[in-house]
Amino acid sequence: MKDVLEEIIAWKRIEVEKYKSEVSEHDIHMQVEKIINLDSPTVSMRKALIESSTGIISEFKRKSPSKGWIKEDGKPDIIPLSYQQYGASAISILTDEKYFGGKDEFIVEARKSGVNIPILYKNFIIDEYQIFQARLCGASAILLIAADLKISECKSLLYTAHQLGLEVLLEMHSESELDYAELEPDMYGINNRNLGTFITDIKNSFYLSSRLPKNTCKVSESGISDPDIVKELKLAGFNGFLIGENFMKTKNPGDALNDFITKIQN
């Protein structure tokens, strides 16, 4: 079976070099420095999840490599704001264009529409340049994927993110990746989807939960469609639950989130 993750990362290396040729590393560093000097600190995603009664991270995801277009006409100035209005603790926005139909501008548009809760910059980050892109467009946190990176690379990127005032959700999928947990990210993620095959199994979160450090912020990602599963994951120690396709495939994702949260709370 084709390894989709390898294909994405190979493309991402080409894409990042293209971005650097358009806006130099020096120039993007200067742009971000101006923002940091003018902006108030970014809102904490970790704090929002720990203090939330539901912990739902609603995802704005228009497309996926396995399903194709989910909601091609999804509006970044409408859906993320509706997520906020209906009780999301945080929002994840896909910014990869080729495989997920996303753009950095989607975060900019979401912020302009009135979204002020934490936004996760969801992409395949392999270079610190992308972290500057995340800070520039208004993200609060970034995703780092263990399967993409050596531990030393992940450590360096995590440091850069913190220097720019961004938090890090570090995503692991298998027992072999749990060594990355020693880097002490802001949030520890367990992805139920294998990014090589895109096969999803919610049991993965339950299996790995006890192997994560205690008293930390834990996030279960992908394949969550049942409110009762969220209740069970909470009992297993998870604080956050990243849900995208389950909402995005509906006519009104905000309404779908509202219904989901109501069922969790009953």
Cα 95–chain centre separation: 10
User: How big is the chain, counted in residues?
Assistant: 266
Which one is catalytic: 12, 71, 122, 218? 122
Look up 177 and say whether it is catalytic. no
Look up 61 and say whether it is catalytic. yes
Which one is catalytic: 12, 61, 63, 218? 61
The DSSP annotation for 50-62 comes to: HH-SS-EEEEE--
Q: Measuring CA to CA, which residue among 138, 190, 194, 134 is closest to residue 158? A: 134
Taking CA atoms, 167 is separated from 45, 186, 215, in Å, by 7, 6, 17
Which one is catalytic: 15, 171, 177, 245? 171
Which one is catalytic: 167, 221, 239, 258? 221
Look up 152 and say whether it is catalytic. no
Look up 33 and say whether it is catalytic. no
Look up 191 and say whether it is catalytic. yes
Angle at 170 between CA 114 and CA 152, to 5 degrees: 130
Which one is catalytic: 58, 64, 191, 194? 191
Backbone φ and ψ for 188, nearest 5 degrees, come out as -105, 115
Taking CA atoms, 216 is separated from 173, 178, 206, in Å, by 17, 14, 16
Which one is catalytic: 52, 222, 239, 258? 222
Q: Residue 39 carries which DSSP code?
A: S
Look up 59 and say whether it is catalytic. yes
**Residue 94 and residue 19: Cα distance in Å, rounded?**
17
**Residue 92 and residue 101: Cα distance in Å, rounded?**
14
CB-facing half-sphere around the CA of 211: CA atoms within 13 A: 17
Look up 203 and say whether it is catalytic. no
Which one is catalytic: 59, 128, 167, 177? 59
Could you list the beta-strand ranges (E) of 13-67: 56-60, 63-64
- As annotated, the active-site residues are 59, 61, 122, 171, 191, 221-222
